[in-house]
């Protein structure tokens, strides 16, 4: 039934939501062909594990800066123009640098440009949902997630190129393709979209207000966040999940390639398998989690993720059995990461002060990125010592997540019976109550 509702939503989409969703699959034909090889491509060009981790940290810190600036930039330029300009800066330009990369400084420069993508995270989200019907928003985001997961199905293209051309020449071609397709996506989205109603109002309201005056208004937001125990808890969970995901994205391909000795052409097939599992969980399992109390799926998610990371660390580096263990590891990872990513985002949204939603969300994401950013550098140092150590760090972080969850619910017994579905309904009622008639 969920699938039918999503298909119905897809067919009925109009305006900006249609433009955003229909152009999103182009991501799979551009960047997602390169991402499974990003770290091993760096290693092949002479970078050390610590260099890869340092660049990941610089990338995250750049996102912190642009995440802070993104809300004001989006209001000043408008959702549509901001998305076009910063998509080109954060994706098209880095693709050209990655395509011609010769060493550390190329990747560092690309990371600085790429970090500005946090501006478009804000503007694109606004473009996607601001003019959409409220009843469609959840399903629209589900379609976006499905598009992102389906993009991994194009992974065999990368495998074929790498097997025939070897790693570095193949990835240079894929980054050239990524530049062309991503630039085409930018132009198509700009052509078929229009400025949102809210965006038009905000452009007029901020037209004569100085940029730094708008930034100064963020001071009160930190006080709002600090007053809420639920907000602090949600930030802790989101930061832990973000750190684990950062280590996984940066070093998973390194351990699989360099320790488990999986051939380069096979690397993209495992993320494809994980994506298929994630889609299945999205339709079959995760909808059921909304009927449970938030504590239960959080604990299950952390537990499953720990199981997946433990299997990855214990997997032998020889023999066919390593492929079986790797697939089982990905099964647990898909459930754990999918559940925790959904719940982390939901928890952050659940505890936002309704009257200050936009500014509070911007600061929350900035805090999460700032807390997460050191783990790329830490993971790089650990990987240089032993390729398993970054994932042992993940196990420690996930175990900390269990402890934080149990401590929060122990100290706040009134939160025990609160389910995601009930909270979402409560939020919708509160927002409806404050809307002007």
Q: Over the stretch 255-310, which tens digit does the pLDDT of each residue have?
A: 888 888 877 777 777 777 777 787 777 667 665 665 556 777 888 889 999 999 99
Q: Over the stretch 55-96, which tens digit does the pLDDT of each residue have?
A: 988 998 898 888 888 878 888 888 899 999 999 999 999 999
What pLDDT does 358 receive? 54
End-to-end CA distance of the chain: 34
pLDDT average, residue stretch 226-237: 77
Q: Over the stretch 209-224, which tens digit does the pLDDT of each residue have?
A: 787 777 776 676 677 6
Burial of 249 (0-12, 13-18, 19+ CB in 10 A): middle
Q: Is the pLDDT of residue 430 over 60?
A: no
Confidence of residue 431 (pLDDT cuts 50, 70, 90): very low
Which range has the worst mean pLDDT, 66-75, 237-246, 406-415? Answer: 406-415
Distance CA 39, CA 380 (A): 11
**CB distance 286 to 339 below 8 Å:** yes
Rank 105-114, 234-243, 364-373, 426-435 by mean pLDDT and report only the highest.
105-114
Residue recorded with tokens 């309704």: 354
What pLDDT does 178 receive? 93
Q: Is the pLDDT of residue 397 over 90?
A: yes
Which range has the worst mean pLDDT, 14-28, 113-127, 347-361? Answer: 347-361
What pLDDT does 432 receive? 40
* Selected residue with higher pLDDT from 302 and 366: 302
What pLDDT does 191 receive? 93
Q: Average per-residue pLDDT in the chain?
A: 80
What pLDDT does 114 receive? 95
Burial of 284 (0-12, 13-18, 19+ CB in 10 A): exposed
Tabulate helix, strand, coil % of the chain (nearest 5). 85, 0, 15
Which range has the worst mean pLDDT, 40-49, 89-98, 159-168, 332-341? Answer: 332-341
What pLDDT does 409 receive? 83
Residue recorded with tokens 């809420």: 228
Structural domains of the chain in order of their starting residue, each with its CATH number: 1-216 (1.20.1250.20), 217-437 (1.20.1250.20)
Which range has the worst mean pLDDT, 70-84, 136-150, 325-339, 342-356? Answer: 342-356
What pLDDT does 414 receive? 63
Q: Is the pLDDT of residue 349 over 60?
A: no
Q: Over the stretch 180-195, which tens digit does the pLDDT of each residue have?
A: 999 999 999 999 999 9
Which range has the worst mean pLDDT, 11-25, 205-219, 304-318? Answer: 205-219
Q: Is the pLDDT of residue 436 over 50?
A: no
pLDDT average, residue stretch 39-44: 90
Closest by Cα among 286, 278, 336 to 307:
336
Residue 228, CA distances (Å) to 231, 341, 368 in order: 5, 21, 16
Q: What are the beta bridge partners of residue 419?
A: 293
**CB distance 11 to 68 below 8 Å:** no
Q: Over the stretch 85-137, which tens digit does the pLDDT of each residue have?
A: 999 999 999 999 999 999 999 999 999 999 999 888 878 888 887 777 766 66
What pLDDT does 354 receive? 46
Closest by Cα among 84, 288, 322, 293 to 186:
84
Residue recorded with tokens 């963020």: 218
* Selected residue with higher pLDDT from 350 and 266: 266
């Amino acid at each position: 039934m969920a699938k039918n509702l999503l298909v119905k939503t897809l067919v009925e989409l109009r305006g900006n939501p249609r433009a955003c969703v229909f152009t999103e699959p182009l991501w799979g034909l551009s960047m997602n062909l390169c991402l499974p090889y990003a770290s091993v491509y760096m290693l092949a060009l002479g970078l050390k594990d610590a260099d890869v981790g340092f660049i990941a940290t610089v990338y995250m810190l750049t996102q912190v800066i642009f995440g802070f600036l993104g809300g004001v930039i989006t209001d000043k330029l408008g959702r549509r123009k901001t998305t076009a300009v910063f998509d080109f800066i954060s994706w098209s330009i880095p693709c050209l640098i990655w395509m011609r990369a010769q060493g550390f400084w190329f990747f560092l420069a690309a990371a600085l440009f790429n970090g500005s993508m946090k501006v478009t995270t804000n503007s694109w989200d606004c473009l996607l949902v601001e003019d959409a019907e409220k009843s469609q928003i959840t399903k629209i985001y589900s379609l976006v997630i499905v598009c992102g997961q389906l993009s991994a199905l194009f992974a065999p293209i990368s495998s074929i190129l790498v097997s025939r051309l070897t790693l570095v020449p193949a990835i240079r071609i894929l980054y050239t393709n990524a530049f062309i397709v991503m630039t085409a996506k930018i132009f198509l989205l700009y052509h078929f979209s229009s400025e949102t109603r809210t965006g038009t109002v905000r452009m007029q309201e901020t037209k004569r207000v100085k940029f730094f005056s708008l930034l100064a208004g963020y001071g009160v937001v930190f006080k709002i966040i600090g007053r809420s125990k639920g907000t602090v808890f949600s930030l802790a969970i989101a930061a832990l999940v973000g750190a684990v995901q950062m280590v996984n994205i940066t070093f998973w391909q390194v351990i699989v390639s360099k320790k488990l000795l999986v051939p380069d052409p096979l690397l993209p097939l495992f993320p494809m398998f994980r994506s298929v599992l994630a889609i299945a969980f999205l339709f079959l399992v995760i909808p059921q989690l909304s009927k449970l109390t938030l504590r239960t799926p959080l604990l299950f998610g952390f537990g499953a993720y720990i199981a997946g990371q433990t299997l990855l660390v214990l997997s032998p580096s020889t023999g066919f059995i390593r492929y079986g263990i790797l697939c089982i590891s990905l099964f647990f990872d898909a459930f754990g990461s999918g559940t925790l990513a959904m719940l982390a985002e939901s928890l952050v949204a659940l505890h936002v002060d309704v009257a200050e939603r936009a500014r509070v969300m911007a600061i929350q994401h900035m805090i999460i990125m700032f807390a997460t950013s050191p783990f790329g550098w830490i993971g790089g140092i650990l990987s240089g010592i032993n390729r398993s150590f970054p994932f042992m760090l993940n196990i420690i972080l996930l175990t900390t997540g269990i402890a934080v969850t149990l401590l929060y619910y122990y100290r706040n017994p009134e939160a025990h019976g609160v389910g995601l579905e009930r909270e979402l309904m409560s939020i919708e009622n509160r927002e409806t109550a404050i809307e002007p008639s």
